[in-house]
């Protein structure tokens, strides 16, 4: 045994300790489940054992399930993967149910050995489903710990009894935020919400004490008693009925039907609530299998869990470069982006020199961090001491000599090559010879900006998204001459600030913006063609995009759109074809409707800036009659293909070097239909042959921008998928 070990103390309490060797966090594997089963069997069979405490040898209890376990269950079942999954899941239920009954006589409800969970820190996923099967949960008073069931965030749901147990423990309504939103709480809040029973200094000692005193009645779960009633009411109870009707509507509202897991979860709770507990577990297992068999869940797990983590751990980092963690950062330009970059860096404990052309502007940049910290204090997430510590790390100044001992510079001044070249020269006059210099430009090629540098191999792009503290993606751009140490430095820095990096080669708009712009343009173009704006926006929402293309344009501003359109036209010359998009964009610009910032754009806004709905003037000018509107699927495919074909072209051109980065970057960077796992996963779901055929149809109907890329055509002919062709070497 390696993951679970058991020792029985002098009082007859068997302590089962979970401690995965060589890992900082416990993660449940297939072997570990067998070991736990073995320990439980032994403890229950041993007359000298009076009770059991399950705990961890690490500072946390457990981070969840190794999702490869599910992949193995499926793969080991040959041509009956659903059967393999269902049977594997039922085995977990048998184990956890064994812990829950602990030898109890089902008729008299007597004779169970008390089982308590002692959680030193975080308990997530199966790391909380296991405690839920115990009779009492003790958590350490550790404010950093997070307790809950985050499975829904990677496209599945708690499938080791967590769904059924939590719904029965709290009632469907109270369990909803934890099951449907993956909400995690610190121990004190978790106790308030009824997730854990006790918050104590020493959970193992408290659990042992409880185990020795527990009575038969303490060891019977409410749902094993005859008179059990679901808190808040089961579906046929008037209150329960309302909860389920409301939850169903809420899920459809939130997911627009794009995600299979929330609906399946609710079905498991609804159907499970009307049958005895063990049947409910079986129902949960069937719905869980159903979700795992959906290609969406496999794609979400691959992108949002396995590959996201791989990228964060440095999957694409040059291996031959030693640790490049940043000690002192210089940020040039204390505007919207510079202020955000200073904040996230200081939050990671990095010392920051924040430079602007006036002291007032530099101070304003630092004030952003102050406002952020004040917000944290107000919400109880921070303290005045932490605020002081944060602010003491940021030095706002106009004096470039303060950069003298920085090891990384990030430039975020105006998007103007002249201004950027000037600050590069000024900084390079004082920074150490080995300092890496990065630009946060969103549109200017890195190789061009690097011409202003005397050390182009140390020059790189580190492109943040706005708002910096909220957006988790950082795009790292290699210029023609960028060297490995600069790439390693950028990646080590992104790891320090706990964001997710992708590394791309230098090209117009890099990767993310290259795909986002066609998405916005396609939406705007459709407006100009007479498509009902609400149809466009809802089509995007139903695909799982957080914001439709028109709202996105309102957020990023119409004037920026006009600027980009003009610059692209100048760069592309005759090849530029914006169709009806520019007519709409320039018309809005002429009307002074600049988007959210002017409280007027595609949408109408009230005085306070609240979005009210599509601006009627837009409809009056452009929208065709109802009977001239296109099919929903056509609108959706135009929005999807306009982005995914750009992603394929970026791969063909070598801008993207790894499809994992293309998929993860799309979801984190611009909210690309997360249920699909990203553009390449989505094309794999469609199949290259169908995707190529659809390109031909869209090209014939709407123009050359939908022309099937040669790579996709070749894959269609060879019957390949992106993950079968490009996934083997690097992707999970």
Where on the chain is the footprint of ligand NAD (CB under 6 A)?
332-338, 355-357, 361, 412-415, 419, 422-423, 440-442, 463-464, 466
Question: Smaller CB distance to ligand NAD: residue 95 or 468?
Answer: 468
CB-based closest residue to ligand NAD: 335
The Cα–Cα gap between 677 and 685 comes to 10
Is the CB of residue 542 less than 8 Å from the CB of residue 636? yes
Question: Smaller CB distance to ligand NAD: residue 251 or 337?
Answer: 337
CB of 441 to ligand NAD, least distance (A): 4
CB of 339 to ligand NAD, least distance (A): 8
CB of 365 to ligand NAD, least distance (A): 7
Of 296, 231, 309, the residue nearest 262 (C-alpha)? 296
Question: Smaller CB distance to ligand NAD: residue 667 or 692?
Answer: 667
The DSSP bridge partners found for residue 147 are 123, 185
Phi, psi torsion values for 394, nearest 5 degrees: -105, 120
What are the structure tokens assigned to 376, written together?
């944290």
3-state DSSP call for residue 116?
strand
416 Cβ partners below 8 Å, 6+ apart?
Answer: none
CB of 585 to ligand NAD, least distance (A): 18
Give the distance, in angstroms, between the CA of residue 73 and the centroid of all CA atoms in the same chain.
25
The Cα–Cα gap between 543 and 647 comes to 17
Between CA 660 and CA 666, with CA 665 as vertex, the angle to 5 degrees is 105
What are the structure tokens assigned to 54, written together?
């399950």
Question: Smaller CB distance to ligand NAD: residue 332 or 540?
Answer: 332
E strand intervals along 524-633: 603-605, 611-614
Element spanning 284, H or E: helix 277-293
Phi, psi torsion values for 465, nearest 5 degrees: -110, 155
Is the CB of residue 531 less than 8 Å from the CB of residue 635? yes
Q: Which residues are catalytic?
A: 463
3-state DSSP call for residue 117?
strand
What are the structure tokens assigned to 125, written together?
């996923």
CB of 364 to ligand NAD, least distance (A): 7
CB of 562 to ligand NAD, least distance (A): 15
Question: Smaller CB distance to ligand NAD: residue 52 or 334?
Answer: 334
Question: Smaller CB distance to ligand NAD: residue 158 or 461?
Answer: 461
45 Cβ partners below 8 Å, 6+ apart?
Answer: none
CB of 442 to ligand NAD, least distance (A): 4
What are the structure tokens assigned to 229, written together?
């009633």
Question: Smaller CB distance to ligand NAD: residue 373 or 516?
Answer: 516
């Amino acid at each position: 045994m390696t993951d679970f070990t058991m020792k029985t103390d002098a009082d007859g309490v068997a302590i089962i300790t979970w401690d995965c060797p060589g890992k900082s966090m416990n993660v449940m594997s297939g072997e570990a489940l067998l070991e736990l089963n073995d320990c439980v069997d032994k403890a229950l069979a041993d007359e000298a054992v009076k009770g059991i405490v399950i705990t961890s040898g690490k500072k946390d209890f457990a981070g969840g399930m190794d999702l490869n376990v599910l992949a193995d269950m499926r793969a080991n079942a040959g041509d009956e993967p659903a059967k393999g999954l269902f049977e594997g899941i039922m085995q977990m239920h048998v184990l956890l149910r064994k812990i829950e009954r602990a030898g109890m006589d089902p008729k008299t409800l007597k004779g169970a050995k008390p089982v308590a969970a002692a959680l030193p820190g975080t308990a997530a996923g199966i790391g909380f489903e296991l405690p839920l099967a115990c009779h009492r949960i003790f958590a350490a008073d550790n404010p950093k710990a997070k307790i809950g069931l985050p499975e829904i965030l990677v496209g599945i749901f708690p499938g080791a009894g967590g769904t059924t147990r939590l719904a029965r423990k709290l009632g469907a309504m109270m369990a909803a935020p934890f099951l449907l939103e993956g909400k995690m709480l610190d121990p004190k809040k978790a106790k308030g919400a009824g997730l854990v029973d006790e918050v104590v200094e020493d959970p193992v000692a408290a659990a042992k004490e409880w185990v020795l005193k527990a009575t038969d009645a303490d060891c019977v779960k409410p749902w094993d008693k005859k008179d059990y009633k679901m808190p808040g009411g089961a579906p046929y109870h008037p209150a329960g009925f309302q909860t389920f009707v409301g939850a169903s509507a809420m899920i459809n509202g939130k997911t627009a039907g794009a995600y299979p897991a929330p609906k399946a979860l609710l079905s498991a709770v609804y159907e499970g609530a009307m049958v005895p507990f063990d049947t409910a577990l079986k129902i949960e297992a069937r719905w869980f299998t159903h979700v795992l068999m959906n290609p969406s869940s496999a794609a979400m797990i691959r992108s949002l869990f396995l590959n996201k983590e791989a990228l964060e751990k440095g999957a694409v980092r040059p291996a031959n470069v030693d640790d490049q963690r940043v000690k002192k950062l210089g940020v040039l330009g204390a505007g919207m982006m510079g202020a955000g970059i200073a904040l996230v860096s200081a939050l990671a404990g990095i010392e920051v020199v924040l430079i602007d052309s006036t002291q007032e502007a530099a101070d304003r940049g630092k004030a952003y961090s102050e406002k952020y910290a004040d917000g944290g204090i107000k919400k109880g997430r921070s303290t005045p001491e932490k605020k002081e510590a944060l602010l003491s790390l940021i030095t706002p100044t106009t004096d470039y000599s303060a950069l003298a001992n920085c090891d990384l510079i990030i430039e975020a001044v105006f998007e103007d090559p002249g201004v950027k070249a000037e600050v590069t020269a000024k900084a390079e006059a004082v920074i150490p010879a080995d300092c890496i210099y990065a630009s946060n430009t969103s549109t200017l090629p890195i190789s061009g900006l690097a011409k202003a540098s005397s050390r182009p191999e140390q020059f790189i792009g580190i492109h943040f998204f706005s708002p910096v503290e909220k957006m988790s993606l950082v795009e790292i751009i290699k210029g023609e001459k960028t060297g490995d140490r600069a790439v390693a430095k950028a990646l080590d820095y992104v790891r320090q600030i706990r964001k997710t990096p992708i590394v791309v080669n230098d090209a117009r708009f890099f990767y993310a913006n290259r795909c986002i712009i066609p998405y916005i343009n396609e939406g705007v173009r459709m407006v100009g063609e007479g498509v009902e704006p609400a149809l466009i926006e809802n089509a995007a929402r139903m695909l799982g995009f957080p914001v439709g293309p028109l709202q996105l344009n309102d957020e990023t501003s119409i004037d920026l759109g006009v600027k980009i359109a003009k610059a692209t036209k100048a760069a592309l010359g005759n090849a530029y074809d914006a169709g009806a998009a520019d007519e709409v964009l320039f018309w809005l610009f002429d009307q002074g409707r600049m988007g959210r910032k002017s409280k007027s754009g595609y949408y109408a806004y009230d005085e306070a800036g609240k979005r009210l709905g599509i601006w009627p003037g837009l409809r009056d000018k452009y929208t065709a009659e109802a009977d001239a509107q296109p099919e929903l699927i056509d609108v959706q495919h135009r929005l999807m293909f306009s982005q995914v074909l750009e992603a394929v072209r970026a791969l063909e051109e070598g801008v993207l070097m790894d499809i994992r980065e293309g998929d993860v970057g799309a979801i984190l960077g611009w909210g690309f239909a997360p249920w699909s796992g990203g553009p390449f996963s989505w094309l794999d779901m469609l199949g290259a042959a169908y995707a190529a055929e659809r390109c031909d149809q869209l090209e014939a109907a709407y123009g050359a921008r939908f022309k099937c890329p040669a790579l996709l055509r070749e894959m269609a002919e060879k019957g390949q998928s992106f993950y079968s062709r490009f996934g083997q070497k690097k992707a999970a």
